[in-house]
């Protein structure tokens, strides 16, 4: 079975900080890796797809990259509205989530 390992599990940073979240897939990658932001009481919101393509309407401070089987979501300058839990998804498998808190 495919496994996706996401880290860190929690992240606390200040407004303006650059933050990064990583996912490692267990199988070779052939295209589909997505990142989501999830806030309580709301449906998850797609941020990035195909590892590095910004979804429509998503601020440009969000970006995605890949190095081998490691994938990274980067927020270049953390904003107050960026709190929430972030998940990666490779094919039908989700990472464990990263809770982002604003200091």
By CB under 8 A, name the binding residues for another protein.
1, 32, 34, 36, 42-44, 46, 49-50, 55, 85, 87, 89, 91-97
Q: With contact defined as beta carbons under 8 Å apart, do 8 and 97 qualify?
A: no
Q: How far is the CB of 22 from another protein (least distance, A)?
A: 15
Q: How far is the CB of 100 from another protein (least distance, A)?
A: 14
Nearer to another protein, 83 or 91 (CB): 91
Nearer to another protein, 32 or 101 (CB): 32
How many angstroms separate the Cα of 61 from the Cα of each of 26, 75, 83?
28, 5, 14
Nearer to another protein, 83 or 94 (CB): 94
Eight-class DSSP state of 91: T
Q: How far is the CB of 92 from another protein (least distance, A)?
A: 4
Nearer to another protein, 44 or 102 (CB): 44
Rg of the chain in Å (alpha carbons): 13
Length of the chain measured in residues: 103
Residue 97 sits at φ, ψ, to 5 deg, of: 100, 150
Give the integer Cα–Cα distance in Å for 27 and 70: 11
């Amino acid at each position: 079975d495919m496994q996706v390992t996401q880290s860190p599990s929690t992240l606390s940073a200040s407004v303006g900080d650059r933050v990064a979240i990583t996912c490692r897939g267990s199988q070779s990658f052939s295209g589909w890796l997505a990142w989501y932001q999830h806030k309580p009481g709301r449906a998850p919101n797609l941020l990035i797809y195909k590892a590095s393509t910004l979804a429509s309407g998503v601020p440009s401070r969000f970006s995605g990259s890949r190095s081998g089987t490691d994938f990274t979501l980067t927020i270049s300058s953390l904003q107050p509205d960026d709190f929430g839990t972030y998940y990666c998804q490779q094919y039908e498998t989700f990472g464990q989530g990263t809770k982002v808190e604003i200091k």
